[in-house]
Amino acid sequence: KRKSHPEVQNLIDGIFKGDITSLSRSITLVESTHKNHLKKANAIIKACLPKANNSIRIGITGVPGVGKSTFIEVFGKYLTSLGKKVAVLAVDPSSSLTKGSILGDKTRMEALVKDKNAFIRPSASGESLGGVARKTRETIILCEAAGFDTIIIETVGVGQSEIAVSSMVDFFLLLKLAGAGDELQGIKRGIIEMADAIVINKADGDNIKRAKLAKVEFDRALHLYPEKESSWQPKVLTCSALHHEGIEDIWDIISEYKNLTVTNNHWTSKRNHQNKYWLIQTIENQLKENFFNSDKIKKELKLQIKLIEEQKTTPFAAAEHLLSL
């Protein structure tokens, strides 16, 4: 058996002991684009795999301002009070544009940051969604090996990233606001379909009545969808993250979901399905990247585009020709 690099072995030992510094350093290796770092990262992930998987992975999404960080802090504190170890990770595909992560920002969750049983990691920035997704998936494995039993993945509700996040979690929670005018029309069908629970936040003060009304609307809308493969009926709840209200109910719902899906085997089949999805996704991305980055293809592609413009070939014939190269 080949002996691991001593630095790598130290990091692995540290992770298994739940040492946060080792965990953070290993995540930095996972996030690096440096070849040598990636090699080390892969060795660490491989060692961690047998100890991974023993967690519940929860995705949380919502538009900016809906209260994600307020909610995650309160929810996270509640979970650690139950004796759970909570890791919060962020998927932020826009970070390459906004220069720096807007999610998982430590200053936003001060109480949770100080909690010994919580670990908050801002999103890897400056990469494609595919790159961010890979890093997040691998970071989940490292966190689980370090003993974190509840993994929260936060993302902004802007489209693509929700699909990525829902494909790496067991339970997908959509945070909404009442009276944002999108109860019925604006709710993007796909996102609603992905949700295992819709939580209407800021149900406090003058907003309570509107929140209750929104709950009725969402309940009605959800019943129009066909039954999910998990046979789980998505739930609609209201909460006030600010006033710490409705938080326990949300955890109860998630526990109920886990009980149901573990019993009917959907839990395992969903995770297997996700692994297969990411395998295929990664291969597709890699093939595409290799293809379009080839100098030969770049040159020939330009030529074929010109030929198409001159009506000397069709896009299909051109594609076939390029692929045959």
> Binding to ligand GDP by residue 240, rule CB under 6 A?
yes
Chain residue whose CB lies nearest ligand GDP: 67
Taking CB under 6 A as the criterion, the residue among 70, 80, 123, 167 binding ligand GDP is 70
Q: Interaction with ligand GDP in 191-210: which residues (CB under 6 A)? A: 201-202, 204
Query: Which of 241, 247, 250, 318 contacts ligand GDP by CB under 6 A?
Result: 241
Sole window of 119-127, 160-168, 190-198, 237-245 interacting with ligand GDP (rule: CB under 6 A): 237-245
Sole window of 26-34, 59-67, 208-216, 286-294 interacting with ligand GDP (rule: CB under 6 A): 59-67
Q: How far is the CB of 112 from ligand GDP (least distance, A)?
A: 12
Separation of first and last alpha carbons in the chain: 42
Of 8 and 199, the one with the shorter C-beta distance to ligand GDP is 199
The answer to whether 121 contacts ligand GDP (rule: CB under 6 A) is no
Confirm if 202 and 242 have CB atoms less than 8 A apart. yes
3-state secondary structure of 63: coil
Question: Smaller CB distance to ligand GDP: residue 144 or 162?
Answer: 162
Q: Which of 233, 294, 305, 232 is nearest to 266 (CA)?
A: 232
Instruction: Report the residue number, 240 or 304, with the smaller CB distance to ligand GDP.
Output: 240
- Told to check if 105 binds ligand GDP by CB under 6 A, we report no
Task: Among 62, 76, 93, 104, indicate the residue that binds ligand GDP (CB under 6 A).
Answer: 62
Q: In the chain, how long is the greatest CA-to-CA distance?
A: 69
Helix axes 247-263, 266-293, angle to 10 degrees: 90
Q: Which of 242, 301, 307, 308 binds ligand GDP (CB under 6 A)?
A: 242
Q: How would you class 21 by CB atoms within 10 Å of its CB: exposed for 0-12, middle for 13-18, buried for 19 or more?
A: exposed
Question: Which two tokens mark 195?
Answer: 């949700």
- In 209-227, which positions are buried (b, 16+ CB within 10 angstroms) versus exposed (e)? ebbeebbebbeebbeeeee
Q: Which of 161, 201, 159, 197 is nearest to 179 (CA)?
A: 201
Sites of contact with ligand GDP (CB under 6 A): 62, 64-70, 201-202, 204, 240-242
